[in-house]
Chain A
């Protein structure tokens, strides 16, 4: 029994981090219909910001988090202005943007590897290796803090989307871009801001990831498939769905890891993706086909 509680606790702690990694992706997909394959590579960028902040100046990754978020959000604005704004009218938009984000992922990966080599890194503030004990159940402090910060950020995002006027505009654009435009929403601005928020969240997630996982530039490919399974399972574009999927799959993966070994744990995410495609292609919270 204690074992089971332990597995669930570890799964949940990790689930929080995955939820944050996935929610920016989900937001960008929802508003822009861009499957951002570069998202994990940008998370990697955030991780390097936190890593060097800690390594060079001893800045705690949790303090570096807003800095990473801002730097990445600015990168997001740049990418949007340079690339995605002009693609908005493209006839093969969704296909084009997927391939473009793929190209961006390669550029980011190659850039990071050129600058920082492919050496494995991890940020190691004191709490990263420390743990709380409740009875015999241990909770690693690093994962706990990361999971809690993630939840707080996701909650803030949800409140912003639900109650602010701009959030209203974002939700409207997600549901029907043309209609939002006709209601007087400046959809290009909505796109820009949501893209910046989404990539900013990648930066924030990167700061957390930097002390939860070890990382090196080409590792983002492993994250791509994991995060994509969350987004597909949750229903493309549903942030709530992504968060729920992150928790469910992380706990499931923790069980698989416990019973079959760590190698197979990550397979849970990929197989879940296929099961979803077979059983319920629109995902847990997916949209029904759009109105005729």
Chain B
């Protein structure tokens, strides 16, 4: 099995503060949906930020397609094909939906292709076409999340990392978010998702990874992780609900 992304023993933290990640590792296989679970403060979001270059990695390494990402800026890592959608969704509130989509292609070398790609996305997500001239800041949470996720597809990246996309959304909308994620996975994008709701996340994923205290605890097929007694006990809140 070839690994698309390999994170090995990385240590990272904010500013000159203590390390949040203390030797976390993970491997990402092409075409699958990977879900990272773990308690609050385990370092899940920090891990994603370290991979995309928003936080410096203090030690350990991140290799993408066999190539080290050490010392690269976020814009350079993006160029390689790794997109990140943070919890706050990273939209431009005072730009229209269409302008937000265009910003998604900011790093394209060939800008002439941009309009066509934006059109494609609008076809795929009718709600975005409908709202194209509306300021992103005035949309509902679910629509904003849709825009943020759809926007990553402009670049046709290899990996999209989603940090708690369901946060703050109504249960009905949450399922839509996972549906969009499936659409993305179907186009061949590899997904790495962090989810607070471990059950929900693992059920929608192929591969599960448990993180605690900044280190990787278990990984395995999502179903196996769901079934494991110790994981049940510690992180899924006791006995599994049938």
Contacts and interface: CB of A to CB of B under 8 A. Distances in A.
Do A and B touch, yes or no (CB under 8 Å, in the complex)?
yes
Interface of A: 89-91, 165, 168-169, 171-172, 175-176, 178-186, 188, 287-288, 290-292
Contact of B103 (A178, A183, A291): A183
Contacts of B90: 176, 178-179, 182-183
Contact of A178 (B15, B79, B86): B86
A183 B168 contact: no
A89 B73 CA distance: 14
A176 B93 contact: yes
B89 A291 contact: yes
B91 A184 contact: no
A175 B94 contact: yes
Contacts of A180: 92, 103
Contact of B74 (A168, A171, A176, A181): A181
Nearest to B73: A186
Given A176-B92, A291-B93, A185 B137 contact: no
Interface residues of B, number: 28
A66 B168 CA distance: 51
Interface stretch (B104-112, B190-198, B211-219): B104-112
**Max chain B C-beta neighbours (<10 A), residue from A176, A185, A290:** A176
25 contacts: A90-B15, A165-B111, A168-B106, A172-B92, A172-B103, A175-B93, A176-B92, A176-B93, A178-B88, A178-B90, A179-B90, A180-B103, A181-B75, A182-B52, A182-B54, A182-B83, A182-B84, A183-B106, A183-B107, A184-B75, A186-B73, A186-B75, A288-B93, A291-B89, A291-B137
Among all A-B residue pairs, the 7 with the closest Cβ atoms: A184-B107, A179-B90, A184-B75, A184-B78, A175-B92, A183-B106, A183-B103
Contacts of B144: 291
